[in-house]
Chain A
């Protein structure tokens, strides 16, 4: 044996080693290539959107905005569901979305306690989740900057009192919604603190009445009616309210007691019924912080696509807030009030 045979074996070994090395290297290159490309990127996406409820105007506008944006984008197939203000229903909707093989889930659901379970199911299925207005652990948050939204309304009310009532109100009604936890509480805190910090003479603590509106006009009407006897007949009253509906109930109660001239109210949302009230002549509704639910879809859906295509997205995305009043309602909603806006 010759040297020739040994050389052939050595050459063969070297060739084999080279081939194996090349093969291994090639697969490693392929693995690296797959890692650097986005595994969830596709030509089109199926996104599940579970709305808070379909019973209120605000959420109807959110859904309409989502649908319109999805149609405009062209590569998004939206699967709709209704959480019916119920955590168990939100969980069931999550299961349905997973079964339907959605690429991402947008949840607008009220029950914080179900957040963990919903997120565990979605995480196990490898589906990213976006939470509107009520945070869920691990989900990208999208929605209101609640304290700031409250501040805007509180500051506007304080400015009005400083200008029209010599900087002093005698009593303050805080129409809140304690059953819904810290999110609406942040709005209320923002309104109350901003008012008290900006008005020339803050309302005395014992004349600040925290009332549970239960999120309905009737309940706001009832609790405000029941509280008015504890406030002097000629007292100047300010009210900060969780939304437009409770603002309307508050105004109705004070007007029914014949004390409407000594009242000024601010609220949250600025939905069409609130806008209609604030543009009335001699309205007691100064205005409300706008959330622009109709724009939620346009702001959120592109961020969902960013996540699916592996582009960076901040953990919290806040909507823009503006205090809407009779002075600027035509800038934002000219089509709602053509007669008023043409004046």
Chain B
């Protein structure tokens, strides 16, 4: 997914970076306006939309996509993609439930091991992408299938119930009336937002996404950075899988089917470029909220599920369309600059 054509060391200059921030701010503002319009529309259509109960529902069911989207944003910024996140989420739940229910390992330890299983898949993805130089789309498409199959093999296709009060708190609990999973998600956005914006590691990810070759020449350890990014993506997808299991009080190998497409839609909608080198976590967060709000509003309006699918598809096309327009404008600006 790396875009060598758009490689331009000038993009790394402070002046250019300031320009990016302006673009990003504009993107975020336009997303906020879209969100407000969407909310106004749903509020005019159904009296239940702007109720506390409904807002609470949205808040408590946003974390799975939201947390996975953090990892996906990092991967997309480097010019890659991770299609395996849904399968990883399913695997982590299956591993956790099997370790606890069948091997008697304490639930806390099982949960950690389930999340680490996701990190391991991330490491595998990163290693294949970096050392074998296989396209990230192909690599993660392969692991998407392998890991889903593994989840079925391990669970023998069975759904396992996990009833444990402490464990269920992860997905269902509240702190001062705020869903615990939402608080965790916001904390992760703060941490990774800080890393992305204020650390060398974060800045290097943009550079790698802009041009891996130029980044290498600039002394950035591209392989190490990509490995870490894919591990983070696997880790966060696995954690989302744990939240999913906690919410449903059961693990199933068919869990999180299609999660990757929802997440990619949200991230691209939030302004992250599929071509790499561009994107922010605040944009991703707004993209996630818009998608969740859209789903929620359509259900409340009792719109046929077939039309809901159509609406989601349109949003994806719009998001990718905007991404392409942004890309073309960027290329135009660069060519004028040269």
Contact = CB atoms under 8 A, between A and B. Distances in A.
Given A218-B255, A223-B299, A228 B249 contact: no
B171 A256 contact: yes
Contacts of A40: none
Contact of A218 (B60, B163, B244, B300): B244
Most buried by B among A54, A226, A248, A277: A226
Give the interface SS of chain A, mostly helix, strand, loop or mixed: helix
Interface stretch (B25-33, B134-142, B152-160, B227-235): B152-160
A230 interface: yes
B6 interface: no
A277 B161 contact: yes
A60 interface: yes
A54 B155 CA distance: 13
Nearest to B252: A217
B145 interface: no
Interface stretch (A96-104, A118-126, A162-170, A207-215): A207-215
B256 A273 contact: no
A225 B247 CA distance: 11
Contact of A229 (B53, B159, B244, B250): B53
Given A216-B254, A218-B256, A233-B53, A225 B300 contact: no
A257 interface: yes
A229 B256 contact: no
A228 B57 contact: yes
Given A225-B60, A227-B299, A229-B300, A249 B248 contact: yes
B305 A217 contact: no
B283 to A, nearest CB: 23
Interface residues of A, number: 39
A323 to B, nearest CB: 21
A221 interface: yes
B172 A256 contact: yes
A260 B132 CA distance: 51
Indicate the size class of the contact surface on chain B. Answer: 35 or more
Contacts of A10: none
A230 B48 contact: yes
A60 B156 CA distance: 9
B306 interface: yes
Nearest to A249: B248
Given A226-B296, A227-B300, A273-B250, A57 B244 contact: no
Given A57-B158, A256-B247, A272-B158, A216 B257 contact: yes
A218 B158 contact: no
A222 B61 contact: yes
A52 to B, nearest CB: 12
Given A228-B57, A273-B161, A276-B161, A248 B247 contact: no
Contact of B255 (A217, A228, A252, A256): A217
B73 to A, nearest CB: 22
Interface string A228-239: 111001000000
Given A218-B248, A229-B48, A273 B295 contact: no
A21 B247 CA distance: 85
Contacts of A214: 305
Given A57-B159, A222-B295, A280-B163, A252 B253 contact: no
B164 interface: no
B54 interface: yes
Contacts of A135: none
Contact of A248 (B48, B51, B250): B250
Interface in A236-256: 244-245, 248-249, 252, 255-256
A56 interface: yes
A217 B256 CA distance: 9
A210 B303 CA distance: 10
A312 B147 CA distance: 48
Contact of A211 (B156, B161, B248, B299): B299
Contacts of B158: 57, 272-273
22 contacts: A55-B152, A57-B159, A60-B157, A178-B306, A210-B302, A211-B299, A217-B159, A217-B250, A218-B257, A221-B61, A222-B61, A222-B299, A226-B54, A226-B296, A230-B48, A249-B248, A255-B249, A256-B172, A257-B57, A271-B159, A273-B160, A273-B161
- Would you list the 6 A-B pairs with minimal beta carbon distance, nearest first? A212-B305, A229-B54, A226-B299, A273-B159, A229-B53, A230-B48
